[in-house]
Amino acid sequence: MNTNNLKICVLGAGGWGTSLALVLSNNNYDTVLWTHDQELANSINENRINSDYLLNVKIDEKITITSDVNIVNSCDWIVNAIPTQYIFDTLQNHKIELNDKYIINGSKGIEISTLSRISQIFEKFDVKKDKFAVLTGPSHAEEVSRKTPTTIVAASENHTFTHKIQKVFSNDYFRVYSSNDVIGCELGGALKNVIAVAAGIIDGLDLGDNTKAALITRGLAEISRLGLAMGAIQMTFSGLSGLGDLFVTCNSKHSRNRKVGELIGKGQSLEEINSTMKMVAEGVFTTKAAVMLGEKYNVEIPITQKVYKILFENVKPRDAIKTLMTRQSKSEWWW
């Protein structure tokens, strides 16, 4: 697999897709940024700014911005940045060819309708495990696009592929580590968004640092318990795709999931929030999927269950917190 003359297409021209395209172009790869939205493609081509998703960041002239699937199908590698709930329909409806291509997934989440991890969505299009990798970790698009030092992890069952990804993506502001735990990296990236919604609720209620620290620690325990039941490696959740991503998403001003929670903590309804947010907060979707996965694998995830009740059953945040705080006492290390 020669990486010297790769043509790489990023699917999805949101903030993260645009930032990944900028990294690849910065590293002198022939880079295509594809969007199904012709108007967005025209706007970026005309202004070289993605004003919908990434304000005040200049888009390199070397990046091809297109809605033409034929250009996508001519690429060697595909980097997916399409929001999770839209991946299957986008690939199917636009007839994007994935045969014999190497796929790098940059999105995070779980498909609600099937409870599929993103690797399992791509398997439905006959993408083989040795040609699939997940790229994840604490990496807000707004900071990556401005070349803020960032570290992430690439996970695949194909060690050669992860090493190639490290070579292609890494530079002096974007460092890539490798892993073979696809399940753990996928679940860490998805489930932390649920805990981030809870972190936002804490911020909206002005509850302070003690409460936030308790949430992050016990939230990581929930993620780890469910992940282990689903086949992940425990150590993964102490790494970039686990603790690293959880920390940044629970605390950052850039986190859409944390922002949703904050607005709920301040008294807004989910319907009101959705009517004003342009970008997808995957944690809302993932909360539903996580509750179902907890039931499927018989894993206790009390924080996640309370987030679900706040989002979808109109339980008041302070009542949910009180219930969590007065649960039966347990050892810290129960699994």
Catalytic residues: 192
φ and ψ at 171, to 5 degrees? -155, -160
What length is written for the chain?
Answer: 335
HEC secondary structure over 152-193? EEEECCCHHHHHHHHHHHCCCCEEEEEECCHHHHHHHHHHHH
Burial category of 131 from C-beta neighbours within 10 Å (exposed 0-12, middle 13-18, buried 19 and up): buried
φ and ψ at 58, to 5 degrees? -75, 130
Q: At residue 309, what is the residue type? A: K
Name the residue among 166, 191, 302, 304 with its Cα closest to residue 249.
191
Give the separation between CA 32 and CA 249, rounded to whole angstroms.
28
Name the residue among 305, 185, 290 with its Cα closest to residue 244.
185
Spell out the residues 6+ positions from residue 227 whose beta carbon is closer than 8 angstroms to its own.
183, 184, 187, 188, 191, 234, 236, 237
Q: How far is CA 217 from the centre of its chain?
A: 20
Give the separation between CA 26 and CA 63, rounded to whole angstroms.
10
Give whole-number Cα distances, 207 to 43, 162, 204, 284, in Å. 42, 41, 8, 22
Give whole-number Cα distances, 148 to 19, 27, 135, 193, in Å. 11, 15, 17, 22
Q: How far is CA 293 from the centre of its chain?
A: 18
Give the separation between CA 9 and CA 24, rounded to whole angstroms.
10
